[in-house]
Chain A
Amino acid sequence: MIDKKAIKVFKKVLKLKKIKILKSINQQKVKNWDSIANLNLIFALEEEFKIRFNDKDILNMKSLNEAINIIKKKKKLYA
Chain B
Amino acid sequence: MLNDVKKYSEIIDFNYNKKRLLKKNNQEILKAKIYGNISCFQLKEYIAYFMLQKNVNIEIELSDYDNLLSDHSISKDCKFSIVFWELSNLFNGAQYKIEMLNGNQINNLIDETIKKINLFINNITKNSLLIFNKFSTMHFNINYFEKTKYQLINDKLNSFLETKKNNNFILMDINQIISEIGTDNAVSYRDFYLSKSIYNLQFYKRYSYIIANLILSKTGRYKKVLVLDCDNTLWKGIAVEDGIDKLEMDEITYPGCIFFEVQHLINKLYKKGILICLCSKNNLEDIKKIFKLKTYLKLNQFADIRINWDDKPKNLKKISEKLNLGLDSFVFIDDSDFEINYIKKTFPEVTTFKVPIDNLYDYPKMIREISNLFYTNLLTEEDKKKNLYYFQEEKREKTKSKFISLEDYINTLKLSLIVEKNNIKHLARVTQLTQKTNQFNSSLKRFSENEIEKFIMDDKFDVYTLRVSDKFGESGLTAICILKKDIKKKICVLNTFLMSCRIFGRKIEFIFLNYIKNKLRKLKIKKILINFKIGPRNSNVESFLIEYGFIKKKNNNTIASFEKNIGKLKSNKIENLDIKIKKSD
The verdict on A13 contacting B9 (CB below 8 Å), with A39-B41, A40-B42, A55-B190 known, is yes
For B403, list chain A residues within 8 Å (CB).
none
Let me know if A15 is at the binding interface, CB within 8 A.
yes
Q: B201 touches which one: A13, A43, A54 (CB < 8 A)? A: A43
Contact, CB under 8 Å: B10 / A12: yes
The verdict on A8 contacting B9 (CB below 8 Å), with A15-B16, A39-B41, A40-B42 known, is yes
Contact, CB under 8 Å: A47 / B195: no
Q: How distant is B4 from chain A, measured CB to nearest CB, in Å?
A: 15
Q: Mark B192-236, 1 if CB is under 8 A from A, else 0.
A: 001101000100000000000000000000000000000000000
Contact, CB under 8 Å: B16 / A47: no
Contact, CB under 8 Å: B12 / A40: yes
Which of A8, A12, A46, A54: most chain B Cβ within 10 A? A12
Let me know if B13 is at the binding interface, CB within 8 A.
yes
Q: Who on chain B is nearest to A46 by CB?
A: B201
Contact, CB under 8 Å: B42 / A43: yes
Residues 15 to 53 of chain A near chain B (Cβ within 8 Å): 15, 36, 39-40, 43-44, 46-48, 52
A48 to B13, CA, bound (A): 14
For B195, list chain A residues within 8 Å (CB).
39
Q: Who on chain A is nearest to B42 by CB?
A: A43
Let me know if A2 is at the binding interface, CB within 8 A.
no
Contact, CB under 8 Å: B190 / A9: no
Which of B9, B190, B194: most chain A Cβ within 10 A? B9
Contact, CB under 8 Å: A47 / B190: no
Q: How distant is A10 from chain B, measured CB to nearest CB, in Å?
A: 8
The verdict on A12 contacting B13 (CB below 8 Å), with A43-B8, A48-B7 known, is yes
Contact, CB under 8 Å: A44 / B7: yes
Q: How distant is A71 from chain B, measured CB to nearest CB, in Å?
A: 14
Which of A39, A44, A58: most chain B Cβ within 10 A? A44
A61 to B191, CA, bound (A): 15
For B7, list chain A residues within 8 Å (CB).
44, 47-48
Residues 35 to 67 of chain B near chain A (Cβ within 8 Å): 41-42, 45
For B197, list chain A residues within 8 Å (CB).
39
Contact, CB under 8 Å: A58 / B194: yes
A65 to B395, CA, bound (A): 72
A59 to B13, CA, bound (A): 25
A28 to B190, CA, bound (A): 25
Q: A36 touches which one: B16, B41, B190 (CB < 8 A)? A: B41
A22 to B298, CA, bound (A): 66
Q: How distant is B9 from chain A, measured CB to nearest CB, in Å?
A: 4
Q: How distant is B63 from chain A, measured CB to nearest CB, in Å?
A: 14
Q: Who on chain B is nearest to A53 by CB?
A: B190
Contact, CB under 8 Å: A47 / B41: no
Contact, CB under 8 Å: B194 / A55: yes
Tell me whether chain A's interface is mostly helix, strand or loop, or mixed: helix
Tell me whether chain B's interface is mostly helix, strand or loop, or mixed: helix
For A8, list chain B residues within 8 Å (CB).
9
Which of B8, B13, B42: most chain A Cβ within 10 A? B8
Q: How distant is A67 from chain B, measured CB to nearest CB, in Å?
A: 13
A43 to B43, CA, bound (A): 12
Q: How distant is A27 from chain B, measured CB to nearest CB, in Å?
A: 16
Q: How distant is A61 from chain B, measured CB to nearest CB, in Å?
A: 13
Contact, CB under 8 Å: A48 / B9: yes
Q: Mark B384-413, 1 if CB is under 8 A from A, else 0.
A: 000000000000000000000000000000
Q: B12 touches which one: A12, A52, A54 (CB < 8 A)? A: A12
Q: B9 touches which one: A9, A54, A55 (CB < 8 A)? A: A9
A12 to B41, CA, bound (A): 17
Contact, CB under 8 Å: B12 / A44: yes
For A9, list chain B residues within 8 Å (CB).
9
A12 to B13, CA, bound (A): 5
For B194, list chain A residues within 8 Å (CB).
55, 58
Q: Who on chain A is nearest to B44 by CB?
A: A36
Q: How distant is A64 from chain B, measured CB to nearest CB, in Å?
A: 14
Q: How distant is A32 from chain B, measured CB to nearest CB, in Å?
A: 10
For B190, list chain A residues within 8 Å (CB).
52, 54-55
Q: Mark B13-46, 1 if CB is under 8 A from A, else 0.
A: 1001000000000000000000000000110010
Q: Who on chain B is nearest to A14 by CB?
A: B12
For A13, list chain B residues within 8 Å (CB).
9, 12-13
A48 to B7, CA, bound (A): 7
Q: Who on chain A is nearest to B197 by CB?
A: A39
Q: How distant is B12 from chain A, measured CB to nearest CB, in Å?
A: 5
Q: Who on chain B is nearest to A52 by CB?
A: B190
For B41, list chain A residues within 8 Å (CB).
36, 39-40
A38 to B526, CA, bound (A): 61
For B8, list chain A residues within 8 Å (CB).
40, 43-44, 47
For A43, list chain B residues within 8 Å (CB).
8, 42, 201
Q: Who on chain A is nearest to B191 by CB?
A: A39
A36 to B40, CA, bound (A): 10
A46 to B45, CA, bound (A): 17
Q: How distant is B7 from chain A, measured CB to nearest CB, in Å?
A: 6
For A52, list chain B residues within 8 Å (CB).
190
A48 to B16, CA, bound (A): 19
Residues 532 to 559 of chain B near chain A (Cβ within 8 Å): none
A39 to B44, CA, bound (A): 13
Q: How distant is A1 from chain B, measured CB to nearest CB, in Å?
A: 16
Q: 5 closest pairs, A vs B, by CB?
A: A12-B13, A44-B9, A12-B9, A9-B9, A44-B8
For this complex, 7 residue pairs linking A to B, each with C-beta atoms less than 8 Å apart, are: A9-B9, A12-B10, A12-B13, A39-B197, A40-B42, A44-B9, A47-B201
Beyond known contacts A9-B9, A40-B8, A54-B190: 4 more, CB 8 A cutoff = A39-B197, A40-B41, A48-B9, A55-B194
A residues near B, CB below 8 A?
Answer: 8-9, 12-13, 15, 36, 39-40, 43-44, 46-48, 52, 54-55, 58
B residues near A, CB below 8 A?
Answer: 7-10, 12-13, 16, 41-42, 45, 190-191, 194-195, 197, 201
